[in-house]
Structure 1
């Protein structure tokens, strides 16, 4: 891919070093134009007629999203955020009182709260699988726990939000298939920067967002539901995902269709489809290589600056680079970099209660394929000056 062309497609690159792609990335011009075009259509003809006219674009959006993750179109449903999609999937998993739900130390706060709420409602036990020596989910311990039985669900994040580690989701998937346990994957940080293939992962459910590395609009997300996955009814059902089949009866549509909702932002869904198409054109193999090379260089260079500590761990590392400057609060560092035109963010301990992290807030710099080597060199120089 031509990086200069990708940067030209991204107006936000002008005069700004954007390293907060794990938060909310810069959208390409084509995504911006697609969203604005639909909003202008709504302004002219109203939301309902605009939705009718955009029916083909909405179908294309779902198809592109499915293609990006290796799913069938009927296995993907649109949501207005990944946490919403993940929570909907969690609520539909059939669990019996006393069963165990296995998860990772690196779950984000939203997932942790959701799992604990599930335990309170259903009487299940949430158990955190420890990390191995490299700091990722210990697959050997997971196998032992699955072998003990009474596991109703395994819920794992592919890449956490607070560090560069990558969990071995494909190995976990092989174990879940072997033991016949439902498998839910949070792919918020991986869709758009790595190849995410639901068949290779072997998951039954997978959630993702549009605003991060996928470069879609905010307020967009999706859920993958493998056809034939034994699920209960979603906690929230309306007349799109369900049918009012009689005065006192209803039925919920099977699979992903049962999660469909009537009301949603059509412009945002169209934009998400354009972002998925853009990612397909870029190619996730190339994106992974480009992001890995840039973030690896940044991680190495920052680690060589006296007074800077890099906190990432794992056998494989994502485009998220976390670090701290000795004697400086993370918020101060982020603010100082912002004054120099560099956008980073802060990740805080209360976002990951199960993780044995540094115990204090750190700076998160998340690289994308449109970042340039020169931008990263300037960033390292500015961090060195802050020390």
Structure 2
């Protein structure tokens, strides 16, 4: 069980553990793909070297014990049990497996938010077109928070099959109230799917408190693992009910007769059989987060983001576009006074690594905010206050037209 007791992070140690920080860049893109610790890199290099000598199948056999540590480490991170964890190639792959397990019929309702991730929204729209499901979006309050009263009213009125929430949107620092949503869903007969791609590895999560039936995570973002990795949490209720992904392979089931198969009893019925060296990288990334302690990581992140939000918030003509009463390590901003091209050029010239997002990635959110682009900054616990101040100064210089 996670506790509030933690040892503060030794910044010098984690920075020495991060080869990517040896450059002169200011890394502010952990919401995209973060910098891997040395232990992650070394594990994958060693595996690749072994694979060049003995081939992929034998390397996997020889490293099976190492790869199997993923289930325990991921379970520890989110307060689950190893049997409830499945490896996935990405958050999206895990998400689609979860969706495919729900036997939707024409007229079934999915409740989601106006801030759900673009790939999830596209999947819902595809289900709407192909199967005739109904997609209904929960209202937001004036400050950007999810309207929980409206959520419960919609559940009572429409009896949805699924409530699907993105915990932290990719286009905003908003943190959705995952535990409060879970408490509401638990009172009704519906499945609850949480996309935690941006929150796992950034802040503490407890699946007992969240009460999600499915939770999906990625390795490449705040967990600091390799790309093409992630994991899926599947609740005991899902497993006991017998939900199975539509497209299941030999990892998830046994072929018992010419026209029959038997599914695994654990979450690995959702897992692909084919794996690679990236799995050992994910193991080490999750282990690294567990060793530091997710509470300590969350505390360090809060301090950095308070400094960044405060500093950028004082720049005249710069609009911080993150709504909601709870915000994360994603900060987005826009300006009508200065062009995107000017701001982007100034940050890149100053060595800042960041992301630009355009309206087509968040049509509902950007439309109501009256914007068509944002710059996204996403520091992590390995960043320093000096780096935060340097980024603030670069943005200020760009906004005032001073030389960078």
Shared fold, TM over 0.5: yes
Contact between 2:346 and 2:394, CA under 8 Å: does it hold in 1?
no
Displacement after TM superposition at 1:72 (Å) = 0.8
Q: Which residue of 2 aligns with 1:194?
A: 203
Alignment RMSD: 1.4
2:250 counterpart residue number: 239
* 2:324 paired residue number: 314
Please tell me whether residue 158 in structure 1 is matched to residue 144 in structure 2: no
Tell me what 1:288 maps to.
298
- Aligned equivalent of 1:277: 287
1-side partners of 2:352 and 2:341: how far apart?
A: 13
Count of matched residue pairs: 386
SS in 2 for 1:347: strand
> Is 1:47 paired with 2:56?
yes
Deviation at 1:331, TM superposition (A): 4.9
How far residue 186 of structure 1 moved from its aligned partner, in angstroms, is 0.1
Verify: 1:7 aligned to 2:15, yes or no: yes
Any residues of structure 2 matched to 1:52-201 within 5 Å, and which?
A: 52-201=61-210
SS where residue 161 of structure 1 aligns?
coil
Q: Are 2:376 and 1:364 aligned?
A: yes
Once residues 232 and 198 of structure 1 are traced to their aligned partners in structure 2, the CA distance between those partners, rounded to angstroms, is 19
Contact kept, 8 Å, 2:35 with 2:224, in 1: the verdict is yes
Deviation of 1:286 (Å): 1.4
Secondary structure in 2 aligned to 1:315?
A: coil
CA contact (8 A) 2:334 2:371 kept: no
User: Is the partner of 2:87 in helix, strand or coil?
Assistant: strand
Q: CA deviation at 1:248?
A: 2.3
Question: Among residues 27, 34, 53, which one is paired with 2:43 in the alignment?
Answer: 34
Unaligned ranges ≥5, structure 2: 1-8, 400-404
Q: Deviations over 1:160-198 (max 9, x none)?
A: 111111000100000111112110000000001100111
Return the alpha-carbon distance in structure 2 between the equivalents of residues 232 and 354 of structure 1: 32
| 3-state SS of 1:179 partner | coil
> What residue is the counterpart of 1:217 in the other structure?
226
Aligned partners of 1:179, 1:307: CA distance in 2, in Å?
A: 46
Q: Secondary structure at the match of 1:251?
A: strand
> Secondary structure of 2:382's partner?
coil
Q: Deviations over 1:260-289 (max 9, x none)?
A: 222122x11111011001101111111112
Cα-to-partner distance string for 1:290-313 (whole Å, 9 max, x where unaligned): 111211211111111112111111
Native 8 Å contact 1:334 1:344 kept in 2: no
1:214 touches 1:276 (CA, 8 Å); kept in 2? yes
Q: Distance between the aligned counterparts of 1:172 and 1:150, measured in 2?
A: 15
2:3 aligns to what? none
TM-score (norm 1): 0.96
The structure 2 residue matched to 1:351, chosen from 349, 361, 371, is 361
My pick for the range that moved more, 293-302 or 30-39, is 293-302
Equivalent position of 2:275 in the other structure: 264
Partner Cα separation in structure 1 for residue 291 and residue 141 of structure 2:
36
- Corresponding position of 2:398: 386
CA distance in 1 between partners of 2:296 and 2:156 (Å): 38
- Equivalence for 2:312: 302
Give SS of 2:161's match.
strand
Q: How far did 1:354 drift? A: 2.9
What is the distance in 2 between the residues matched to 1:257 and 1:109? 26
Change (3 A) 1:146 1:293: same
1:227 matched to 2:239? The reply is: no
CA deviations over 1:106-134 (Å, ceiling 9, x no partner): 01110100111122232210101011122
Distance 1:327 1:146, change over 3 A: same
Q: Do the aligned partners of 2:194 and 2:214 also contact (CA within 8 Å) in 1?
A: yes
**1: distance between equivalents of 2:37 and 2:57?**
27
Please report how far the alpha carbon of residue 324 of structure 1 lies from its aligned counterpart in structure 2 after TM superposition. 2.0
Alpha-carbon offset, residue 255 of structure 1: 4.5
CA contact (8 A) 2:198 2:222 kept: yes
Cα distance in 2 for partners of 1:118, 1:67 equals 34
Matched, 1:205 2:214: yes
Contact persistence 1:107–1:354 (CA under 8 A): no
Distance across 2 between alignment mates of 1:334 and 1:377: 17
Return the offset for 1:332.
4.2
Conserved? CA contact 1:292–1:317, under 8 Å:
no
SS at match of 1:21: coil
Counterpart contact for 1:192–1:214, Cα < 8 Å = yes
